[in-house]
């Protein structure tokens, strides 16, 4: 499973909208959408935040 797909599954499993997940990463909702659709890459700090949030 690709990174973007993992992000989407995790966000959806927590019943979060893009606009609700974006502030956690300190980005705009369109950026999260682009991460999920493989149009952008997450920074190292964003990946660490996501990993910590997953627990």
What is the pTM for the complete model shown? 0.78
Q: Which two tokens stand for residue 21?
A: 């997940």
Segment 10-25 mean pLDDT? 90
pLDDT at site 34? 95
* All domains in the chain, ordered by first residue: 3-54 (1.10.260.40)
Torsion of CA 30, 46, 39, 21, to 10 degrees: -30
Q: Is pLDDT at 55 greater than 70 in this prediction? A: no
């Amino acid at each position: 499973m690709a990174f973007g797909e993992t992000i989407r599954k995790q966000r959806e499993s927590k019943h979060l909208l893009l606009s609700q997940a974006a502030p956690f990463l300190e980005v705009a909702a369109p950026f999260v959408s682009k991460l999920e659709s493989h149009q952008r890459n997450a920074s190292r700090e964003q990946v660490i935040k996501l990993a910590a949030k997953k627990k």
